[in-house]
Structure 1
Amino acid sequence: MKSRCFWVSDSKLYQEYHDNEWGQPVYDDETLFEFLVLETFQAGLSWITILNKRENFRKAFNNFDYEKIAKYTESKYLSLLQDAGIIRNKLKIKSVIANAQLFMQVQEEFGSFSKFIWSYVEGKPIINKFHKREEVPATTELSDKISKDLKKRGFKFVGSTVIYAYMQAVGMVNDHTTECYKYPK
């Protein structure tokens, strides 16, 4: 049996996410936006809840197409509030629409969201060397800095904890613990 990070349960979905996505560097804007949406909805909930609803989110939010989401009307917003397949939080749904618009502004300014977000780590993942659960932080000075920058730009639901989880998900930091088979040797 493979030795995985402490947070991975017996759930096949969780194991597949851990083994194939979590901590893998993501440089394409489409996937970076998808994780921004998913982390927004995860705030205050468990990640497995979000993973279980991921395909529902994909369907509800036009395959995470930020250009389409940025143009959502009030009627689309109201229909999302009725969608039992997703988390029906008014503020989070509104923030996804606003964040899509802001995401495109960042693309315009930097050429891509990827260039902007990865510039914080000079384009390469930070490889941490954590052995135990207690060592893995919920926030860092860097997640504080990115969070402040995004908030200044108008992004919502981008607190430091959300941003650190985002950094882990998109591989900006590699927090696979040292006993995990995914830890870079």
Structure 2
Amino acid sequence: MEKFSDIYKRAVERKGSEKMLKLLLAKPLSKKQLSTLSDDDWLEEFTRKVFQSGFYWSVINNKWSGFREVFWDFSVDKLLMMPPDMLEQKATDERIVRNYKKVKTITENAYMIHEIAQEHGSFSQFVANWPADNIIGLWAYLKKHGARLGGNTGPYALRALGKDTFLLSRDVENYLRAHKIIDGGLQTKKSLSAAQAFFNEMQKQSGLSMQELSLIVAYGVGDNRVGISQQ
């Protein structure tokens, strides 16, 4: 396993300078900041990522104001009271991407969020308290209890709203495979555990967040060389 210092040095070289690399990094939210998000915020981001999967993200983003109108700004309380026939009706609305299987996930994930909030005070509190050194456990929870939140969908939603998580992007996956940290299927328990152990070790060496570490690994490999030089 490479040392963090070697990974960091390579990322600095590829981005032109330490200053430029740091400009490309972003920190996750603190537990306190994360816990202020509403349950509706989580449902909206889960829905966005479910619909972005398999579509051009720009198409979904361009229609997002329509999604918000049709689904009452993703109000969990309102959506849980909605009768099934109304959901079918909404699935045909031209303001959204009309994909009934994906539309169904909105109420299914609303129910998951509601159930967790009942037990933990809020869904945000549940997420905020989940330890980053076992973030794959949270991924697995979302996959099991949520709708279409497996693969990269759940992790990307977590990252988007500020939860500290690494991501198994193509560049990160390529790094892990090249250094024999994972082999076989990316989403197997063995591969996920190995990836988590790798990032846990990098965190011990660096003191950085999983998010920053994931970005540094990605910036050190692949086709993302931007040729930025320090001004």
TM-score calculated relative to the size of structure 2 = 0.53
Q: Deviations over 1:98-147 (max 9, x none)?
A: 2111211000011110011122246xxx9xxxxxxxxxxxxxx73x4223
Alpha carbons of structure 1 residues 57 and 115: separation in structure 2 relative to 1, 3 Å: same
List aligned pairs for 1:42-121, cutoff 5 A. Answer: 42-121=52-131
Match of 1:169 in 2: 160
Tell me by how many angstroms 1:24 deviates. Answer: 6.4
Measure the CA separation in 1 of the matches of 2:129 and 2:28.
17
1:152 paired with 2:144, answer: yes
Q: Distance in 2 between matches of 1:74 and 1:147?
A: 28
Larger radius of gyration: 2
Distance 1:160 1:47 in 2: 17
Q: Residues 24, 145 of structure 1: CA spacing in aligned structure 2 closer, same or farther, 3 A cutoff?
A: closer
Assess if the C-alpha contact under 8 Å between 2:66 and 2:95 holds in 1: yes
Number of residue pairs matched? 140
* 2:28 maps to 1:37: no
1:44 Cα deviation after fit: 1.4
Indicate conservation of the 8 Å contact 2:45/2:157, yes or no.
Answer: yes
Q: Indicate the larger mover: 45-54 or 108-117.
A: 45-54
- What secondary structure sits across from 1:160 in the alignment? coil
Q: Deviations over 1:10-60 (max 9, x none)?
A: xxxxxxxxxxxx976344123222111211211212322221111111001
Q: Is the 8 A contact 1:53 1:86 kept in 2?
A: yes
Distance in 1 (CA, whole Å) between partners of 2:27 and 2:106 is 23
- The unaligned stretches of length 5 or more in structure 2 are 1-25, 165-210, 220-225, 227-231
Instruction: Give 5+ residue unaligned stretches, structure 1.
Output: 1-21, 127-140, 181-185
Amino acid in structure 2 at the alignment position of 1:78: E
Q: Which runs of 4+ in 1 moved over 6 A?
A: none
2:110 partner amino acid: A
Percent identity over the alignment is 24
